[in-house]
């Protein structure tokens, strides 16, 4: 989950500032809010499609693989992906904008939405990554045992050490991917925090 949609419009706003501060009129705020909502909706649709793909893929694995560990792992991955979809909707879906276009009301709403997105990004490890961990660990362990059993039926030279290396390699790849996702989301959250600070300072200007 990476949210740069909120940053692009705001970045252009401050990069183009001159020595005279830009006044955020209700019309400008309305345009910025609509852009933020559109970006959130686009990102969430992509995430929901990714969840649907994971559910379909691991439902196939649930049916295809004969071993208990692989089926348990697949089921947990499906459950974890559905949980992340729920949390994405709860934590980071776009909320309706206020009906009135009073400047203070719209600015407060805009700041609160950026704070909400920032908080979701900061906590991505607990609601977006962690739910996948148990299922993936069990699935990879079951896949390793399944692969080694199949290989040993052809050649008895395959050892447990080979299986351990296979599992460790898969686990390392998953760990690197998780760390990359976490790091990118923390970077995006830090960018949002800078924009929030600038908006709050602008709000309190005389």
pLDDT of residue 147: 75
Its sign, for the CA torsion 32, 34, 36, 42, is negative
Task: Find all residues with CB under 8 Å of 138, minimum gap 6, and list them.
Answer: 69, 72, 73, 76
**pTM of the shown model:** 0.79
More confident residue, 41 or 152: 41
Q: What is the mean pLDDT of residues 17-22?
A: 43
Task: Please determine, for residue 17, whether its predicted confidence score (pLDDT) is greater than 50.
Answer: no
More confident residue, 132 or 2: 132
Q: pLDDT tens digits for 40-85?
A: 999 999 999 999 999 999 999 988 888 899 999 999 999 999 999 9
More confident residue, 155 or 170: 170
């Amino acid at each position: 989950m990476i949210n740069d949609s909120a940053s692009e419009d705001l970045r252009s706003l401050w990069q183009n500032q001159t020595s005279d501060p830009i006044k955020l009129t209700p019309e400008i705020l309305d345009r910025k809010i609509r852009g933020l909502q559109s970006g959130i909706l686009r990102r969430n649709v992509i995430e929901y499609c990714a969840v649907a793909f994971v559910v379909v893929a691991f439902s196939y694995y649930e049916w295809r693989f004969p071993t208990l560990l692989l089926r348990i792992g697949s089921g947990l991955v499906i459950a974890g992906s559905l949980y992340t979809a729920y949390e994405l909707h709860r934590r980071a879906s776009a909320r309706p904008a206020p009906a009135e276009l009073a400047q203070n009301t719209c600015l407060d709403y805009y700041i609160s939405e950026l704070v909400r997105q920032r908080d979701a990004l900061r906590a991505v490890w607990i609601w977006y990554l962690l739910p996948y961990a148990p299922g993936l660990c069990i699935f990879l362990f079951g896949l390793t045992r399944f692969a080694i059993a199949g290989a040993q039926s052809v050649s008895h030279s395959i050892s447990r050490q080979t299986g351990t290396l296979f599992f460790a390699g898969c686990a390392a790849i998953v760990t690197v991917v998780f760390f990359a996702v976490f790091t990118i989301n923390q970077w995006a959250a830090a960018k949002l925090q800078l924009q929030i600070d600038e908006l709050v300072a602008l709000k309190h200007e005389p």
